[in-house]
Chain A
Amino acid sequence: AQSVAQPEDQVNVAEGNPLTVKCTYSVSGNPYLFWYVQYPNRGLQFLLKYITGDNLVKGSYGFEAEFNKSQTSFHLKKPSALVSDSALYFCAVHGGYNKLIFGAGTRLAVHP
């Protein structure tokens, strides 16, 4: 069965420093992988996706993610964090019949 793991409950980073939010997956076949961001009391916003092609995917707000098939990972990265990046981040994988299976979420806190 398809699954996604986000091993960190929270990530703390200083403003201006690079950030990484980790995600590993378990799927049969080729994965379709996604990152979403959720600000307080809001819906989820799509950030980026990997379907096929280049392993480094660029998305909204300066975020990027690297697909690593050998490590079954899809970590979210940003070179320089902003306080406004503080939010809840979800990794997801297509779970068959166009359904998304989500990780538990990682709370990112960027400190000034």
Chain B
Amino acid sequence: SQTIHQWPATLVQPVGSPLSLECTVEGTSNPNLYWYRQAAGRGLQLLFYSVGIGQISSEVPQNLSASRPQDRQFILSSKKLLLSDSGFYLCAWKEGISGNTIYFGEGSWLTVV
């Protein structure tokens, strides 16, 4: 069966510091991968999605970037964090071609201080 792992689960970082959140999916090949952000415990905003290695689509301009160095690895990064980057970040995946359901990881809490 497929599983998704996301880490770290909790992160407290000072303003101006770098960020790296990692996500890996097991048990599938060529998945679509996604990064969402949830602010204030409610709305979900799609940040990035990827349909293959090195292929990244950005949904909103921001201080963050994403990379997909391997088929089942998705990384969310920032060179210099802002206070407004605080939030709950969720990685998700879907079967690349045949699937229609997106499955989420457990999320990473980021607090920028």
A104: interface (CB < 8 Å): yes
Query: Which of A36, A49, A102, A105 lies in contact with B100, CB distance below 8 A?
Result: A49
Of the candidate stretches B11-19, B36-44, B66-74, B75-83, the one touching chain A is: B36-44
B101-A42 in contact (CB<8A): no
Which A residues lie at the B interface, using CB under 8 A?
32, 34, 36, 41-46, 49, 51, 88, 90, 94, 97-100, 102, 104-105
Q: Shortest Cβ distance from A46 into chain B, in angstroms?
A: 6
Q: Shortest Cβ distance from A4 into chain B, in angstroms?
A: 11
A43: chain B residues at CB < 8 Å are 6, 90, 104-107
B104-A44 in contact (CB<8A): yes
For the complex, count residues of B whose C-beta is within 8 A of A.
23
Q: Shortest Cβ distance from B75 into chain A, in angstroms?
A: 18
Instruction: Report, nearest first, the 3 A-B pairs whose CB atoms are least far apart.
Output: A43-B104, A44-B104, A102-B44
For A44, give the chain B residue with the smallest CB separation: B104
B107-A99 in contact (CB<8A): no
Given A34-B101, A49-B100, A102-B44: A42 and B106 within 8 A (CB)? yes
Q: How far is the CA of A44 from the CA of B92 in the complex (A)?
A: 9
A45-B104 in contact (CB<8A): yes
- 13 CB-based A-B contacts, threshold 8 Å: A44-B92, A45-B104, A46-B103, A94-B100, A97-B49, A98-B32, A98-B49, A98-B51, A99-B34, A99-B46, A99-B59, A102-B43, A104-B42
